Amino acid sequence: MKDAWRHFGAEFIGTFALVFVGGGAIITSPMLQVQAAVVNIAFAHGLILALMVTATMRISGHLNPAVTAGFLVTRRIEPMMAVVYWIAQFSGAIIAAYLLKLLYPATIVAATRLGGQSISSDINMIQAISLEAIATFFLVFVVFGTAVDPRAPKVGGFAIGLTVTAGILAIGPLTGGSMNPARSFGPAIVTGIFEGQTAYWVGPLLGGIVAALLYEKLFLSKEPEPVDHGAVSP
Q: Long-range contacts of range 97-101, CB-CB < 8 Å, 24 or more positions apart?
A: 97/19, 97/23, 97/186, 97/187, 97/189, 97/190, 97/191, 98/190, 99/20, 100/19, 100/20, 100/23, 100/24, 100/27, 100/187, 100/190, 101/190
- % of the chain residues with pLDDT over 70: 91
pLDDT tens string 66-104: 999 999 999 999 999 999 999 999 999 999 999 999 999
Could you say which DSSP state residue 147 is in?
A: I
What 3-state DSSP class applies to 161? helix
Confidence of residue 54 (pLDDT cuts 50, 70, 90): very high
User: What is the CB neighbour count within 10 angstroms for residue 169?
Assistant: 16
CB 219 within 8 A of CB 146: no
User: What is the CB neighbour count within 10 angstroms for residue 71?
Assistant: 23
DSSP strands (E only) in the chain = none
List phi, psi (to 5°) of 180: -165, 105
What would be the CATH architecture of the domain defined by 2-219? Up-down Bundle (1.20)
- pTM of the predicted protein model: 0.90
Amino acid identity, position 13: I
Q: Is the pLDDT of residue 203 over 90?
A: yes
For the chain, which residues make up each domain, given as ranges? 2-219
